Amino acid sequence: MGLDWGWGPTSVMEYAIEHLHVYMGGPWWLTITAAAILTRAALFMPYVSAADNAARLAVVSPITKPIMTKMVAAQKAGDQIAFLQYKQEQSLIHRRAGIKAWKAGIPLIQMVLGFGTFRLLNGMAKLPVPGLETGGTLWFANLAAPDPLYLLPMATAATLHWVLRKGGESGVQMMNAKMLSIMKWGFPLLSLVFTSWLPAAVQLHFFASGLLSLAQSTMLRQPAFRTAMSMTPLPKPSSAPSATPAAADAAPSSKIRMIKNPILSQSELHDRFQPAPTIATGTNSAPGRRFPRVLKETVTDIRSTVQEVVEAGRGLMGQTKQEVQDRLVKAEKRQRDMYEAKRQAAELQARVEQQQQRRESRALRKAATASRSLGQS
């Protein structure tokens, strides 16, 4: 195509789009759309894994948010012992819930490939690549020039707005209402402003990617799809007012009782995080009778987790305090030994100087006596 991008995501997308165009034999608008579809399809299963991880994180967030608040406060106060204790507590809860921190970076792969596609299509439009000026369709026949009606930028902004309303590409919304309101209106507006002057090839790619992202986020929010893919069910929003930080500090036990909220009391979540309870094959227990049992076992498991965390924190704090005391005792002993060595060296030096003075005095007296004896004779 007359472009050389070296090594990187741009060259990868150049290779893919060039071969798609050659082997498909269609116009450029079809090649750009097919490249967006294939890229999204290749990353679909990693996105499913990231969405499941985000749902697990949303489930335990009522428990981990107070811990995170205290951890940040301990870090600002310079209390390293408390910071490590809260961090260990949070890590233990995440590990029990099956949360992997690295999965949160999976969407970055799409961002890197999207940036490479943007550079490639923008460079193709500047040449322009043969066939690009006539490779469009409908009202944007020239892909090397911006959309004359601005319909593609507006459609892209609209899809971005709906994707953010549905919780992003993972389908899980964890931002507060104020931040969500700013993002779902601010980002589409910025997108409309900065994509209006781009070539139609880039605008088409953004629109196709946004449409696929909207379809993906809608699919990931469907309970039937999540069940079929063995994903963690999405938590239901809590209708109860959130507790203030002061109330959370005044009543630490209330954090444990938060599992009565529907977010943490679903039997599906228990089946997801812990082995399912053994039920005899001969009994015909109704779902209403099984729910209290599942809830009781969930409460017991959460309490045991909290107890393990507290005991581990106490052990860590006790070991740390003992190590600090041992270091202080050793430092004091070294100071005493150094002082005693200096004192003994000073005393030894003083005795040596006194003996030297005595020898010199005796030598002077002997010399004076000898001189008097010689004078008398």
Tokens of 281: 């094959």
The proportion of the chain whose per-residue pLDDT surpasses 90, expressed as a percent, equals 5
Nearest CA among 148, 203, 155 for reference residue 36:
203
Q: Is 99 helix (H, G, I), strand (E, B) or coil?
A: coil
CB 136 within 8 A of CB 28: yes
Among residues 3, 26, 108, 93, which one has the least CA distance to residue 57?
A: 93
pLDDT at residue 264 tops 60 = no
**Is the pLDDT assigned to residue 199 strictly greater than 50?**
yes
- Whether the CA torsion 271, 273, 275, 278 is positive or negative: it is negative
Distance CA 377, CA 114 (A): 121
Q: What is the mean pLDDT of residues 242-248?
A: 40
Whole-number pLDDT of residue 239? 43
3-state secondary structure (DSSP) of residue 263:
coil
Whether 240 shows a pLDDT value over 80: the answer reads no
Higher pLDDT, 294 or 357: 357
Out of 65-74, 119-128, 195-204, 320-329, pick the least confident.
Answer: 320-329
Q: For residue 362, what is the enclosing H or E element?
A: helix 287-376
Given a cut of 70, is residue 299 above it in pLDDT?
A: no
Percent of all residues in the chain with a pLDDT value above 70, rounded to a whole number: 71
Work out the pLDDT band at 345, boundaries 50, 70, 90.
confident
What is residue 140's three-state secondary structure? strand
Beta pairing partners, 140: 137
Dist. CA 151–CA 148, nearest whole Å: 8
CA distances from 221 to 53, 184, 187, 214 (A): 14, 18, 22, 11
For residues 41 and 149, what is the distance between their CA atoms, to the nearest angstrom? 30
* Higher pLDDT among residues 295 and 71, named by residue: 71
For 113-134, what is each residue's pLDDT tens digit?
888 888 888 888 888 888 888 8
Q: Which of 106, 99, 235 is nearest to 174 (CA)?
A: 235
Residue 49, pLDDT > 70, answer yes
For residues 27 and 21, give the distance between their C-alpha atoms in angstroms, rounded to a whole number: 8
275 phi/psi in degrees, rounded to 5:
-60, 145
Q: Cα(34)–Cα(20) distance, rounded to whole angstroms? A: 8
245 CA to centre of own chain: 23
Band (297; pLDDT cuts 50, 70, 90): low
Query: Cβ–Cβ contacts within 10 Å for residue 31, how many?
Result: 23
Strand, coil or helix: 246: helix
**Whether 43 contacts 150, CB under 8 Å:** no
Greatest CA separation for the chain: 144
Give this prediction's pTM: 0.56
Closest CA to 298 of 273, 324, 320, 315: 273
In 3-state terms, what secondary structure has residue 134? coil
Q: What is the pLDDT of residues 16-37, one digit of tens each?
A: 888 888 888 888 899 999 999 9
122 in Cβ contact with 114 (< 8 Å): no
Among 210, 240, 212, 236, smallest CA distance to 223 is for: 236
Token pair 């050389």 in the structure block, residue: 4
| First-residue to last-residue Cα distance in the chain | 128
CA distances to 9, 48, 92, 297, 323 from 273, rounded to whole Å, are: 37, 17, 14, 12, 37
Say if CB 316 and CB 88 are below 8 A apart: yes
